[in-house]
Structure 1
Amino acid sequence: MGDATTHSRSKSSGGQTIRPEEAAHFGQLARDWWDPKGSSAMLHKLNPVRLGFLRAAIDRHWGGDAASRKPLAGKSALDVGCGAGLLCEPLARLGAEVTGVDAAPENIAAAAVHAEGGGLDIRYMAGEIGTLDIGQFDLVTAMEVVEHVADKPAFLAALAARLAPGGLMVLSTPNRTPASRLLMIGAAEGFGLIPKGTHHWDDFITPEELGELLAEAGLEMGEPTGIAFSPSKGLHLSSDLSLNYLVTARRN
């Protein structure tokens, strides 16, 4: 194993992966999660970029029609660390039978209300993914979550256990680089673009470390794709991995 766990703060005991203070932090943001100008504004800007990567990965993995409006029809999807459903709802619109799991009950409540208002049938559950008996899923996603968990190997093993044979996993997370420390924490949190206390740079994980941990969980990681920022393009997919990156994973 690499030094992924060396850089994390403290592990929880008893196989728990969620730090109570992390759940509480995001629970406090639940009320305006769906406000594109609120505390989750950056996630609203990030979501279309993630969805572009995700849609392409889905089409490649299952050999689907890129023009299809419901490429996940007949498939099940699990979003872990779902917040108030910012990714769950597009997955449902892509045809999937969606389950969202989050550590903060406040987020689950906000997600359920928003989905009902949009006429979407999404199952939401609060709790630890490793302790929930919810079966396996064709698609498993965890976007901007790995950096918030205490025990990364246990968390990734729990995700792997939820992935059905022939399934696809998609993860996104910040990279641990000087650039991410400067821009994502120093600038973004310093100027209020992201709520203060959202990120802890020591918990960020490099692509190499993530690949090793996924391999230990029996998964093979695909080539990472970066999420970069420029004044002209805004947030966009890039070969630059220095800030944030997305990966696919599947069983070996």
Structure 2
Amino acid sequence: MKLPRTLYNWTSLIGAVIAAISLFMIVFLLAVSFFIEVTSSYLGLVIYIILPIFLIMGLVIIPIGMIQRRKRLRRYEDPDKDRWPQINLNLRQHRNAFGIFAITTTAFLFLSAIGTYEAFHFTESVEFCGKLCHNVMHPEYITYQNSPHANVTCAECHVGHGADWYVKSKLSGLYQVYSVIFKKYPQPIPTPIHNLRPARETCERCHWPEQFYAQTLRTEKHYLADESNTEWDIVLKMKVGSEYHALGLEEGIHWHINPNVQIEYVPETEARMSIPWVR
């Protein structure tokens, strides 16, 4: 098969080898993850993020090598001849090159669409947040697995719906990756976290304040610090919402999120563990 002579150079060959190996590994690992039940979060990182980067890098290296080869060939020819590449499908080598380009481009776009879709869902998964990227938050991940929100993904609350906050979360995650690699993060993780998405756009999509129950009974189980660790139960009658629906958020423990209510307070420290003044 005849191809343009600019394609015959070591740079383009290296790029083609990198792209071919990356593509083979992506297909192979996809088959492994499809036919064999693998729960490792690192496999998804390799398939949907790392290998596609090498695939794109290899494809970019190929035309770079062709441009360099063309410049070297022009040194020994008329420098004013064929300044720009010409595509002539009447020539067999051009037809072959165009056919290979069309097939590989179509396959690349198809695989890129699938890979982008899978990468999006992978980076939104609980395994990605709890096992791969957020080793710092391992205690919180253990707590999450045994919490009432165990069936809700991390991203549903911490990122929410919409592409804008997805992009914001990933951009802020770049600095977090740097902090984890070079141990720049504080220990323990301080609270409150100032850059979280407002709860009105995440939590309240499920926990609708206007529809809370008026009163609920809650039992807190404690144990005394005596020799027998005597059980000590505290029964609380929680006034969650208004007794009458027409009152809305005027009463109950969620009255502070009423948009018509303004609360001012002064904490002693930034941690807000002690708030001596409230109005």
Q: TM-score, normalised by structure 2?
A: 0.18
Structure (1 or 2) with the larger CA radius of gyration: 2
Structure (1/2) with the larger strand percentage: 1
> Whose helix fraction is larger, Structure 1's or Structure 2's?
2
Work out which structure has the larger RCO, using CA pairs closer than 8 Å and 6 or more positions apart in sequence. Answer: 1
